C-alpha cells in the first residue's frame, strides 16, 4: 500500500522564466529558493538528467526556478509538453511517501508502469501517470527508507 506523507511540490510548465519571476516573486511576493540537490556535483546532476531523459524520452527543461509557499514549493520548469508520457521535466505533482519500497511494490503488484530515477540525489524518485495523463512523482528521502 502507498502511504502519502504530504504534498511536497507542484511543478508548472512555464514559457518565460523572467515573466514568471516577475509574477510569482514580484506581484505575489513569494520568495525564490535554490534547489537542494544534496552532495551532487554539477557533472553528476548533468549525468542524472541525461539518464532520466533517456528513460522517459522527454526533453530536459531548459530553465526554471523554484518558489517557496509556506511548507511547499512550486517548481517552474521551462519545458516542452509531453502528451501521454511521464515527464519529470515538466508539469507534475510530487508526493512524499512513507515507504518508497512499499510504494514501488504496490505499483509493481498492480502493474502500474513508472519510470524510476537513477541513483544520485538524496531522494528515491519515480514518476507515473494518473488516469488523465498527469505526471505524478512519488519520492522518499534515502536516509529514512
Greater model confidence, 36 or 89: 89
**Span between the terminal Cα atoms of the chain, in Å:** 15
Model confidence at 113, in pLDDT bands (50, 70, 90)? very high
**Average pLDDT, integer, range 9-29:** 89
Task: Return the higher-pLDDT residue of 123 and 115.
Answer: 115
- CATH code of residue 121: 3.10.180.10
- pLDDT(145) > 60: no
Q: How far apart are CA 73 and CA 30, in angstroms?
A: 10
As for how many domains the chain has, the answer is 1
What percent of the chain stands above pLDDT 90? 37
The pLDDT value recorded for residue 88 is 87
pLDDT for residue 3:
94
- Average pLDDT along the chain: 86
pLDDT confidence of residue 41: 79
- Residues 74/11, Cβ–Cβ less than 8 Å: yes
Q: How far apart are CA 132 and CA 128, in angstroms?
A: 11
Provide the domain limits for residue 99.
4-141
pLDDT on residue 144: 65
What per-residue string of b and e applies to 26-48 under the rule 16 or more CB within 10 Å gives b? eeeebeeeeeeeeeeeeeeeeeb
Answer positive or negative: Cα dihedral of 111, 52, 67, 6.
positive
Amino acid at each position: 500500500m502507498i502511504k502519502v506523507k504530504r504534498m511536497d511540490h507542484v511543478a508548472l510548465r512555464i514559457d518565460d522564466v523572467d515573466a514568471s519571476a516577475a509574477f510569482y516573486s514580484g506581484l505575489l511576493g513569494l520568495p525564490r529558493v535554490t534547489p537542494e540537490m544534496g552532495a551532487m556535483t554539477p557533472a553528476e546532476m548533468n549525468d542524472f538528467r541525461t539518464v532520466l531523459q533517456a528513460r522517459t524520452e522527454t526533453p530536459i527543461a531548459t530553465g526554471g526556478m523554484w518558489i517557496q509557499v509556506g511548507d511547499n514549493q512550486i517548481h517552474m520548469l521551462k519545458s516542452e509538453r509531453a502528451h501521454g508520457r511521464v515527464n519529470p521535466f515538466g508539469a507534475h505533482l510530487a508526493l512524499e511517501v512513507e515507504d518508497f519500497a512499499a510504494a514501488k511494490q504496490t505499483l509493481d503488484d498492480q502493474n502500474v508502469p513508472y519510470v524510476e530515477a537513477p541513483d544520485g540525489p538524496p531522494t528515491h524518485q519515480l514518476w507515473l501517470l494518473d488516469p488523465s495523463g498527469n505526471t505524478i512523482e512519488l519520492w522518499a528521502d534515502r536516509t529514512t527508507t
